Structure 1
Amino acid sequence: MAKKTTTLDKSITNFLGPKHWLSWGAMGVAYLLSYLPWCGQKFLGKILGTIHYALSSNRKNICHVNLKICFPDMTDAERTRLAKAHFKSMGIGVFETFASWFQNQKKFQSRVTFEGQDVIDRVLAKGRGCILISGHFSSLDICGGQMPRFIDVHPIYKLQSNPVMNWVMERQRQAIFSKTIERTNMREVLKSLKQNKAVWYAVDQDYGRKNSVFAPFYGRQCATIAHIGRIANMTNAPVVLYDYGRTEKGFHLSLTEVENYPTQDDVVNATRINELMEAIIAPKKEQYFWSHRRFKTQPVPGDPSPYKK
């Protein structure tokens, strides 16, 4: 697997060799598709998701395993309907990502509603910055691109293995946000909080045993990042829940301060985070990243993955 490294210190000339031509071709197609009208993107996104569901046996298996773990009371038919709706939502999200990368963010402002300006004004008045926490939903990129309209937020991001994608992604996010932070760079996180900025973490993916504690998510123990509570304890920065999603008319973003958080117990803190994630997933289940291996790391080392066929 290619090493994941930042491209911010590299010129585009580093990525013009023949081995990158296919990736640049894909970026060119993405650029052209980003100009489609919103209704066309939604239509083609649903078709893309339907095709992906039919052809990707691995991702489909991951999705169905997650839904069976999290919604055991659903019938097989209900879970299948939700899985298909999820893939369509993710397909739409692909086109939204293209639009967020290659179009002016002002183009989407009329489709966005926001709730919580009073929340962010209040927490930043304390002068300690704040930690935004969110989940992974299919409208992540396009909704994230709208946040700087309301708050100077510094998002934490994960590098991809494809260097051309990193080159495009990192520069796109640099153009939108005043600062972005690679997820291993804790020094920059603390610096941003000290400068009374908002740092944005998506807190609902499995980053392995080393970086996690085990806490229930839909009743099943899963690896949950522990450092949100640790950072909050270290800096006294308030924690704010960032909820976002696609609506019939566009997108809705909202902020809510997380009260009585953190405690001094990592597991209690992680449990609270997972409860918050469950609450924001509930009204828009199909938009959540069910095709991510959320239960990959097992509480007992050596126990089999639930995703093995």
Structure 2
Amino acid sequence: MQRLLYILAYPILWLLSIMPMRILYIKSTALYVLAYYIIGYRKKVVKDNLALVFPEKTQQERDRIAQQFFKHLCDIIFETIKAFTISEKEIRKRFVVTNAEVLDHYYQNDRSILLMAGHYGNWEWSGILNKLMQHQAHAVYKPLGSKQFDALVKKTREHFGGIIVSNKKIVAVLFRKWKKGIKTLTYILSDQTPKKGAFKHRDTFMGIDVPMFTGTEELAKKLDFSVLYLKVEKVKRGYYTATFVPLVDNPKEYPDFQITRMFFDALEAQIREKPEYYLWSHKRWKLRKMD
């Protein structure tokens, strides 16, 4: 069944991906009307999340954020499809790294990097980072259930030469390359929700006590990798900037979970400034501690 779905969907996705962005954004607007006003896709999840983390805002303010989020989410869907065939020239115009020179410090000191990021802005266009660095680029992902769609996702994310590695294999891959002296930069979406009973630490995210994914910090300490935060900001529709924010160079010297806290502090600051660009449709607070 999944293979049949892929056979039917792939030609449509490919045809969409070769369309100009202005056409895709017209389709995105139509999808927004359908998803928000007619189907109500995850509308309750979004509004519950916003009420949970922004109790000080009025209902009208939260509704405005929800509407803006759904518009952004629909844009992300079509931007992800566009990533199948987007040219390097176009994506460099649309996803601009503001301070690539920051990486010179790590090249000169032979430091491998773990790049922590959240589901904020556009995380799917980060593959272009591979074209801007000397280190071998990796990105961590969770494999899909469908082999066909999983292969498509990997192919898309490796469009510009990066290496996509599953979350279950990344430790072994990086350890092997560390032993060989190969310097790497690994992009990890670190605001994921750990599985119930499979976490070591709880802390607050947007003021709510939840389990924390600490794998990035643990890996940094194990291999002595530097840790940076990738601050992605939406400038306007279809245009983003990405800024490297150094967090730590000597992870072993930090108390357990402090690096994780530093990451969430950076992410929270962005969310509070422009909340509409975070992934509110994700049930990030489902394992929160109840009073």
Shift of residue 191, structure 1, vs aligned partner: 3.4
Aligned residue among 266, 287, 291 for 2:277: 287
Shift of residue 199, structure 1, vs aligned partner: 0.8
Correspondence for 1:109: 92
Correspondence for 1:146: 128
- Greater displacement, 144-153 / 212-221: 144-153
Partner Cα separation in structure 1 for residue 39 and residue 175 of structure 2: 40
CA contact (8 A) 2:224 2:250 kept: no
Shift of residue 121, structure 1, vs aligned partner: 1.5
Partner Cα separation in structure 1 for residue 211 and residue 30 of structure 2: 33
Q: Secondary structure at the match of 1:123?
A: helix
Partner Cα separation in structure 2 for residue 253 and residue 138 of structure 1: 10
Matched, 1:233 2:233: no
Aligned residue among 168, 172, 177 for 2:152: 168
Return the letter of the residue paired with 2:83: S
Matched, 1:207 2:194: yes
Shift of residue 203, structure 1, vs aligned partner: 0.5
The superposition leaves residues 6-57 of structure 1 with CA deviations (integer Å, 9 ceiling, x where unpaired) of: xxxxxxxxxxxx6522222222211111122222222321321232123455
Shift of residue 192, structure 1, vs aligned partner: 4.4
Structure 2 counterparts to residues 1-309 of structure 1, below 5 A: 19-57=2-40, 59-142=42-125, 144-151=126-133, 152-185=136-169, 186-193=171-178, 194-208=181-195, 209-248=197-236, 250-259=239-248, 262=251, 264-299=254-289
Partner Cα separation in structure 1 for residue 282 and residue 89 of structure 2: 31
What TM-score comes out, normalization by structure 2 length? Answer: 0.88
Correspondence for 1:13: none
Q: What is the CA RMSD across the aligned residues, in angstroms?
A: 2.3
Q: Secondary structure at the match of 1:252?
A: strand
Paired-residue identity, %: 20
Return the letter of the residue paired with 2:127: G
Return the letter of the residue paired with 1:181: V
Correspondence for 1:14: none
CA contact (8 A) 2:229 2:263 kept: no
Q: Secondary structure at the match of 1:145?
A: helix
User: Any stretches of 5+ residues in structure 2 without a counterpart?
Assistant: none
CA contact (8 A) 2:32 2:74 kept: yes
Partner Cα separation in structure 2 for residue 242 and residue 156 of structure 1: 14
Q: Secondary structure at the match of 2:19?
A: coil
Count of residue pairs the alignment pairs up: 283
The superposition leaves residues 255-281 of structure 1 with CA deviations (integer Å, 9 ceiling, x where unpaired) of: 111147745543433322211111233
